[in-house]
Amino acid sequence: MKQQHLISVLMENESGSLSRVVGLFSQRGYNIETLNVAPTDDPTISRLNLTTVTSPDNIEQITKQLNKLVEVIKVINLSDIQHVERELMLIKVRASGSMREEIKRSADIFRAQVVDVSANLYSIQITGDTAKLDAFIDIIGKDKVLEVVRSGIIGIARGEKVLNL
């Protein structure tokens, strides 16, 4: 049975490293649903978080193949352990007349922030899990949504478990 997996990878922050990791997925016909990569507190190391939908057997194969890449320092399937995950979304919505206050109330309920205002538009920032972001879009109404930008899922293990050297 296929399920979504959140993979976290520590890798060398060098030109071409990301390309080789992504190439591994494309060569084997696996789709990357979300992808986020940035340097860690050590500028020579990047942390890559990605999600993919596949079977447990395939995810085991993927993690083994990732570990074989020279640039990869460590790989962990966060879906296998307790973890915290978040996603950032910026959403631009039509907000005119009486709808402005309703949209603002909805943003407050979801602990979102209005980050830009114009005469007929709000740009709103919201963080949370994917279900929360999807629910916010549904509450606002897809007919009012002009543009959506999502960061992709990032995650970190809960408790004492750490992904480091």
Output the tens digit of pLDDT for each of the chain's 165 residues: 889 999 999 999 999 889 999 998 888 888 999 999 999 999 999 999 999 998 888 888 899 999 998 899 999 999 989 999 999 999 999 999 889 999 999 999 999 999 999 999 999 999 999 999 999 999 999 999 999 999 999 999 988 767 665
> DSSP letters of 119-142?
SSEEEEEEEE-HHHHHHHHHHH-G
| Structure tokens, 57 | 């057997």
CA distance 4 to 77: 11
Angle at CA 28, nearest 5°, toward 37 and 38?
Answer: 5
* CATH value at residue 24: 3.30.70.260
Among 81, 115, 135, residue at a domain's last position: 81
3 state SS of 102: helix
Range of 31's domain? 3-81
Does residue 150 form part of some domain?
yes
Whether 95 and 61 share a structural domain: no
Whether 109 and 140 share a structural domain: yes
Cβ partners under 8 Å of residue 71, min gap 6? 11, 12, 14, 16, 17, 20, 21
Which secondary-structure segment (H or E) carries 151?
A: none
Does residue 164 form part of some domain?
no
C-alpha closest to that of 149 among 59, 36, 27: 36
Its pTM stands at 0.84
Whether 70 and 106 share a structural domain: no
